Amino acid sequence: MNPTQVSTVVADPASVADAIGSRFSCRAFHRDKPVAREQIEELLALARRSPSGTNTQPWKVYVLQGASRDALVDKVCAAHDAIYADPARAAEFREEYDYYPEKWVSPYIDRRRENGWSLYGLLGIAKGEKDKMHAQHQRNYRFFDAPVGLMFTMDRVMGRGSLMDYGMFLQNIMVAARSHGLHTCPQAAWNGFAKIILPHIGASDSEMLVCGMSLGHAIESEPVNSFHTPREPVEGFTRWLD
């Protein structure tokens, strides 16, 4: 073990707590405020310290900016619009792994509904306004205007535990972003369009899409960025055993 890891003292614990506590899913970014490559490399260099079972490090990262980002946005938005026009075409686009359960039960379905309707309510989208819902959902596929889009893949040969490892890697990126004044939005919404995304980013046939992420500078004045989801209290999910 690196002796500096053992002896390092976190001089400002409050900053660590603030970085975690201020992370949220940003849904409005400054399109015209770029993120330097050096900053992105710093985030990834920190995130690579994430734990993984037997140090397998299953993550593979693709960074999209400029023309590559815009071209992917155009391709996926076109497919998303095609599905909206003809729902039967959804069968052409399948997620490779089940992110959500096949059957929803309480309390998870209740939290999901609260999340969706609270967000739509904030945006002034009423139940049944399908065009507005479609447009808002498509904001995912525009990276919410963030100048940087990240795509994360891993080899299909890896097991389910690697997805747990991946979650820790993603969280480290999002928390590290706060130290640069940046915000993020992790997005499983991209997963259904893997057959478009993987060839676009040059992924090999052995890779599967884990998720995408938007990265950039948040627009503080946008109402959507005032939406912060509630969390269960500690006593709601913890049992103390003596």
Q: Where are the alpha helices (DSSP H) in 11-90?
A: 13-21, 37-47, 66-85
Residue 154: inside a domain, yes or no?
yes
Is the model's pTM score more than 0.85?
A: yes
Radius of gyration of the chain (CA): 19
**Is 90 exceeded by the pLDDT of residue 36?**
yes
**Residue 123, pLDDT score:** 95
pLDDT of residue 6: 86
pLDDT of residue 148 exceeding 70, the answer is yes
Instruction: Report the pLDDT averaged over residues 152-179.
Output: 97
Write out 101-148 in H/E/C secondary structure: CCCCCCCHHHHHHHHHHHHHHHCCCCCCCHHHHHHHHHHHHHHHHCCE
Can you tell me the mean pLDDT for 191-206?
A: 98
User: Which pair of tokens denotes residue 178?
Assistant: 């706060």
Query: Is residue 111 assigned to a domain?
Result: no
Q: Side by side, which strands form the sheet with 60-64?
A: 60-64, 148-155, 207-216, 183-187
Q: How many domains does the chain have?
A: 1
Burial class (CB in 10 A: 0-12, 13-18, 19+), 101: exposed
Tokens 């959902």 found at: 137
Among 6-20, 55-69, 144-158, 228-242, whose mean pLDDT is lowest?
6-20
Answer whether residue 205 is part of any domain.
Answer: yes
Residue 61 clears pLDDT 70, i.e. is over it: yes
Query: Phi and psi at residue 207, in whole multiples of 5°?
Result: -100, 150
Identify whether 219 is part of a domain: yes
Q: Which residues pair with 151 in a beta bridge?
A: 62, 212
Q: How far is CA 92 from CA 24, 37, 79, 88, in A?
A: 32, 35, 10, 8
pLDDT for 1 beyond 60? no
Q: Which long-range contacts (CB under 8 A, 24 or more apart) does 1-5 make?
A: none
Please say if the pLDDT value at position 81 is more than 80.
Answer: yes
- What is the arithmetic mean of pLDDT over 103-128? 95
- 9 domain-assigned: no
Report how far residue 177's alpha carbon sits from residue 185's, in angstroms, rounded to the nearest whole number. 11
In a domain, 45, yes or no: yes
Decide if 73 is inside a domain.
Answer: yes
Question: How large is the greatest C-alpha to C-alpha distance in the chain, in angstroms?
Answer: 60
Q: Letter for the amino acid at 97?
A: Y
Residue 6: inside a domain: no
Q: Say how far apart CA 128 and CA 145 lie, in whole Å.
A: 26
Domain extent, residue 175, equals: 24-91+141-223
Is the model's pLDDT at 239 over the cut of 60? yes
Confidence of residue 8 (pLDDT cuts 50, 70, 90): confident
- Bridge pairing between strands 148-155 and 183-187: unpaired
Query: The domain spanning residue 34 has which CATH number?
Result: 3.40.109.10
Distance CA 125, CA 136 (A): 9
